[in-house]
Amino acid sequence: MKIFWLAFSSINLLLLIFLFSCGFSNSEYETKNIQGWKVKINRKLWKEEKQITKDAIALLDVKLKNVDRVVPRKHHDFLKSVTIWVEKDIQGFSGMVYHPSAKWLKNHGYNPDKAKAVEITNIRNFISRTKTQPWHVLHELAHAYHDNVIGKDFQPIINAYNHAVNAGLYRKVPKNHGKKAKDAYALKNKSEYFAELSEAYFGENDFYPFNRKQLKEYDIQGYSAIEKAWKIDNN
């Protein structure tokens, strides 16, 4: 019995060591309420990157306030149910990301508790990329909305994306800040199409069309699909 107990204890100890080494201990995070969103900040950031962390949290506060301002109030409850995790530098990622699958995270060695959440995987990149992608917080929250509310089989988005691809839209379009024209990120797949067009509709995208007016002129089917997806009432 004693041998069994020692073996059992050893297994438990090894399991705990493994979990901690994988960074899966949620006690490592401080939880803050920012504009109604639950934000989980890796405590190491306050020790290793204190000023950068302060700057990033202040920036996140502004960006979430903007989302709160432009997205219809009827969607606030869902959007604010999406947890945001903040990390110094997660290997394999470079910016913000929405995680749709706990299984994928687990299979690739990441914390499965981050499923259905948005993650700032590199705090310095989050700050720097905001200069050219001012609405990337909305972009990732739009992925969450697409995944959990309207669903990936939402036909108006599928139809609009297919039409855009077949019509040759979003090819060699201007980027903001005078950067060289290239194919827009919206062409990557229907999920990125939805998130990119949501940026243009509610705020400012980094690829043309940059704003709502330009989107309506350039891709009326995409514009209409966004209004249907977000249940925009123009009456």
pLDDT of the chain along its 235 residues, tens only? 544 344 444 445 444 444 444 556 678 999 999 999 999 999 999 999 999 999 999 999 999 999 999 999 999 999 999 999 999 999 889 889 999 999 999 999 999 999 999 999 999 999 999 999 999 999 999 999 999 999 999 999 999 999 999 999 999 999 997 777 899 999 999 999 999 999 999 999 999 999 999 999 999 999 999 999 999 987 5
Q: How far apart are CA 44 and CA 194, in angstroms?
A: 35
- What pLDDT is recorded for position 235? 55
Contacts of residue 80, defined as CB under 8 A and 6 or more positions apart, other chains included, come to 36, 37
Residues composing the chain: 235
Cis peptide before 209 (omega within 30 of 0): yes
Q: Shortest CA distance to 138 belongs to which of 56, 77, 82, 180?
A: 82
Q: How far apart are CA 229 and CA 235, in angstroms?
A: 16
Task: Name 89's bridge partners.
Answer: 122
- What pLDDT is recorded for position 177? 79
Cβ atoms of 32 and 60 within 8 Å: the answer is: no
- What pLDDT is recorded for position 23? 52
- What pLDDT is recorded for position 24? 62
- What pLDDT is recorded for position 151? 98
pTM of the model: 0.88
Look over the chain and give the mean of its residue pLDDT values, rounded to a whole number.
91
- What pLDDT is recorded for position 27? 82
Cβ atoms of 126 and 93 within 8 Å: the answer is: no
HSE-CB at 180 with a 13 A cutoff on CA atoms is: 1
Q: How far apart are CA 11 and CA 44, in angstroms?
A: 28
Strands across the sheet containing 96-99: 29-34, 37-42, 84-86, 117-120, 96-99
Name the burial class of residue 177, with classes exposed (0-12), middle (13-18) and buried (19+) by CB atoms within 10 angstroms of its CB: exposed
Q: Shortest CA distance to 45 belongs to which of 37, 35, 36, 55?
A: 55
Q: Which amino acid is at 15?
A: L
Q: How far apart are CA 192 and CA 189, in angstroms?
A: 5
Contacts of residue 102, defined as CB under 8 A and 6 or more positions apart, other chains included, come to 112, 113, 115, 116
Taking CA atoms, 53 is separated from 30, 95, 127, 192, in Å, by: 12, 15, 10, 28
CA angle 139/113/154 to nearest 5° reads 40
